[in-house]
């Protein structure tokens, strides 16, 4: 077994640059899955929200075993390159494949060819009070175009049509919502040119339950139970496989930071720059915006709207994943390990005991888990922006009769800067603050006072919504962007401090017990990240299930938005309210709770400095 490079040295600028490039690539991959996959599952192929939540929950249970197990394997690895570098050399190609697999799936629910439900027996839906309507049949569809029924049994018939998407001039209440016990009676005919013509005949009363029944089934073709189970199973297996392979790369990538240098300042510098580059990985979050731009390619090939969108997402996933995997590979080619490793190895059970018995690490682990709802900010940001700001029609919103809609572009950029800008700047500023303020105090400050802007996010939305307005005006966009900026600042600062403090815990464990559990402790960070994402997914799935923002309802919503409905006011705005709730109230609660375990953090900065000085003195003495 070869030794690592000589002691007392630190990384070169070239090595640090390569490491940071690789980390940026790895985080692009994470955000493609972390923020884009949930949107893809629920809003593109329409897997029910509750099924998505179960998938993510199962994956997190497995991670509870897989992450520490992988950390143990890393800590037992001994090669001429070290213990982390070998994984960084070979795992990016594997992650490339497993990142693409979850997107290659079937469509769980889709609008059918005629955007309609089959005519049903009249008595099941309509309670006619007059015999004059006895000949009418009932049919419902969600698209403007009624399709050509020439030569079918439906040609020339008159139907009672329930408008589900504001496409027809039906009676509405004061808030602009369709009065659900009214429907138009239209005579469907064709003009001389063969175009479909709708001739209003009269209105009649419909039972409210009739319309609700139409809302859940109109225009939707559901897959068979067997095929649906297969789609969900593929989603689950592919996602869990991605999580396993991502862990194989994530633990060595962060763990190597404590092996590249013995210098505390250089380590803190590497970790703070790493968090900044991780924030640049938010390019992966743009995946949700980029994909629809490719939809036209597949529409021109004859795909219907929904399958064209799915194909666009698959194409975008392939392009972005190949690009980011190449960046990820740079880390493996660049880093070198310089801290000498003990030849002693430990079992997974012993490593679990080590993790739990190290008091400062245990406090950070519990704190990170309690802060899990903060992940909703990244998880829900894409659906929130896509639906609230772009009405889930990026191309249509950006292109108006007067040209490019510059105003909405600037507003979207402002919101994106709000959500990501605070995190990015805080990642760069926090290490300097931590050199002047006790890390424990700064960590708890971010946790407790960082909850305030999250509460304000929902307060601003709710006040504006109740007043009958929206956040698309310039003043409201600026205000909500500023509030998100402060909230994301706290999140970015906590991310940096967590990594630095975990690295400190590795020193703490080496000082007290003579081992450096880099892999095991940074597997804890990986575990916190993925468990947090899973808990956030459960919360999002639960809220979506409660309000019906899931499955076939989303397919109907998307069709309605294409036909001109507004997401902000759709069904009283309950979907918009649910999304704003998810990015505000649960994260605020999680932030406050996360401070509880660290109020009496077990290692002060002064104590860590003393520990590191003594460790370096021992290493130098041993080298001499």
Residue 365's pLDDT is 92
* DSSP label of 100: H
Closest to 381 in 3D by CA, of 38, 2, 29: 38
> If we measure between CA atoms, which residue out of 255, 256, 245, 393 comes closest to residue 325?
245
Which domains occur in the chain, in start order? 13-111+223-354+370-623 (1.20.1250.20), 122-218 (no CATH)
Given CA atoms 81, 83, 91, 290 in this order, what sign does their dihedral have? negative
Could you tell me how far CA 296 lies from the centroid of its own chain? Answer: 25
| Other beta carbons less than 10 A from residue 545's beta carbon | 17
Strand pairing class (137-139; 158-161): parallel
The pLDDT value recorded for residue 398 is: 78
CA distances from 474 to 278, 286, 483 (A): 30, 23, 14
Instruction: For 176-187, give one letter per residue: b (16+ CB within 10 A) or e.
Output: eebebebbbbbe
- The phi, psi pair for 197, rounded to 5°, reads -125, 135
User: Could you please report the per-residue DSSP string of 217-248?
Assistant: HTTEEEPPHHHHHHHHHHHHHHHHHHHHHHHH
Structure tokens at 366: 């519990």
Nearest to 50 by CA among 42, 62, 61, 40: 42
Query: Which string of DSSP letters, residue by residue, matches 272-327?
Result: HHHHHHHHHGGGGGGHHHHGGGGHHHHHTTT--HHHHHHHHHHHHHHHHHHHHHHH
- Furthest CA-CA distance within the chain: 105
- The torsion angles phi and psi of 186, rounded to 5 degrees, stand at -115, 145
Look at residue 128 in the predicted model and tell me its pLDDT: 29
3-state secondary structure 354-412: HHHHCHHHHHHHHHHHHCHHHHHHHHHHHHHHHHHHCCCCHHHHHEECCEECHHHHHHH
Whole-model pTM: value is: 0.69
SS3 category, 547:
helix
Q: Say which residue the tokens 């909405």 belong to.
A: 408
CB 269 within 8 A of CB 11: no
Q: Could you tell me the CA-to-CA distances from 310 to 17, 109, 173, 231, 297 in Å, in that order? A: 36, 12, 36, 14, 12
pLDDT along the chain (624 residues), means of 10: 48 92 93 87 87 85 78 82 90 96 87 36 32 36 37 43 36 47 45 54 38 36 71 95 92 86 79 78 77 87 85 95 96 87 67 85 94 88 85 77 81 84 86 90 95 96 92 92 93 90 90 82 78 84 88 74 82 92 96 96 94 85 70
Tell me the three state secondary structure of residue 263.
coil
Backbone angles phi, psi at 473, to 5 degrees: -75, 155
Q: At what angle do helices 605-623 and 474-513 cross, to 10 degrees?
A: 50
Query: Does residue 250 sit in helix, strand or coil?
Result: helix
């Amino acid at each position: 077994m070869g030794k690592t490079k000589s002691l007392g040295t630190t990384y070169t600028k070239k090595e640090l640059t390569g490491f940071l490039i690789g980390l940026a690539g790895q985080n692009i991959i994470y955000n493609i899955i972390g923020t884009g996959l949930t949107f893809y599952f629920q809003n593109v192929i329409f897997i029910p929200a509750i099924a998505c939540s179960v998938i993510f929950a199962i994956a997190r249970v497995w991670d509870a075993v897989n992450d520490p197990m992988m950390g143990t394997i890393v800590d037992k690895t001994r090669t001429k390159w070290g213990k982390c570098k070998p994984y960084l050399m070979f795992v990016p190609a594997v992650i490339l494949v497993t990142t693409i697999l979850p997107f290659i799936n079937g469509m769980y629910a889709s609008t059918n060819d005629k955007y309609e439900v089959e005519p049903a027996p009249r008595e099941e839906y309509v309670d006619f009070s007059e015999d004059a309507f006895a000949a009418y049949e009932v049919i419902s569809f969600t698209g403007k175009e009624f399709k050509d029924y020439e030569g079918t049994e439906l040609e020339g018939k008159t139907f009672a049509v329930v408008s589900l998407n504001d496409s027809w001039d039906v009676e509405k209440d004061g808030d602009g919502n369709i009065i659900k016990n009214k429907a138009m009676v239209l005579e469907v005919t064709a003009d001389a040119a063969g175009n479909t013509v709708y001739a209003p005949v009269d209105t009649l009363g419909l039972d409210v339950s009739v319309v609700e029944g139409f809302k859940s089934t109109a225009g939707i073709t559901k897959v068979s139970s067997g095929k649906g189970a297969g789609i969900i199973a593929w989603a689950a297996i592919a996602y869990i496989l991605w999580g396993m392979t991502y862990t194989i790369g994530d633990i060595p990538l962060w763990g190597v930071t404590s092996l590249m240098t013995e210098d505390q300042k250089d380590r803190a510098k590497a970790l703070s720059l790493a968090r900044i580059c991780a924030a640049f990985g938010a390019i992966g979050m743009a995946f949700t915006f980029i994909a629809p731009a490719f939809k036209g390619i597949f529409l021109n090939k004859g795909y219907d709207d929904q399958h064209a969108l799915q194909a666009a997402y698959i194409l975008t996933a392939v392009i972005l994943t190949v690009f980011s995997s190449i960046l990820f590979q740079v880390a493996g080619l660049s880093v070198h390990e310089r801290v000498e490793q003990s030849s002693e190895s430990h079992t997974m059970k012993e490593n679990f005991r080590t993790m739990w018995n190290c008091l400062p690490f245990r406090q950070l682990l519990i704190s990170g888990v309690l802060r899990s709802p903060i992940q909703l900010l990244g998880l829900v940001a894409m659906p929130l922006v896509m639906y609230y700001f772009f009405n889930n029609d990026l191309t249509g919103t950006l292109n108006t009769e007067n040209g490019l809609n510059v105003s909405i572009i600037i507003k979207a950029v402002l919101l994106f800067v709000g959500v990501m800008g605070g995190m990015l700047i805080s990642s760069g500023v926090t290490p300097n603050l931590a050199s002047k303020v006790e890390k424990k105090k700064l960590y708890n400050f971010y946790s407790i006072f960082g909850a305030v802007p999250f509460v304000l996010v929902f307060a601003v939305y709710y006040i504006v919504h109740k007043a009958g307005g929206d956040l698309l005006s310039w003043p409201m966009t600026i205000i909500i962007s500023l509030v998100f900026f402060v909230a994301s600042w706290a999140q970015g600062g906590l991310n940096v401090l967590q990594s630095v403090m975990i690295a400190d815990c590795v020193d703490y464990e080496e000082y007290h017990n003579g081992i450096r559990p880099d892999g095991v402790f940074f597997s804890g960070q990986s575990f916190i990240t993925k468990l947090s994402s899973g808990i956030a997914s459960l919360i999002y799935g639960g809220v979506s299930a409660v309000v019906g923002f899931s499955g076939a309802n989303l397919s109907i919503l998307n069709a309605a938005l294409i036909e001109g409905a507004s997401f902000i006011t759709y069904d009283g705005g309950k979907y918009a309210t649910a999304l704003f709730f998810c990015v505000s109230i649960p994260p605020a609660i999680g932030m406050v709770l996360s401070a509880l375990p660290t109020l009496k953090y077990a290692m002060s900065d002064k104590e860590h400095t003393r520990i590191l000085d003594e460790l370096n003195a021992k290493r130098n003495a041993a080298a001499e």
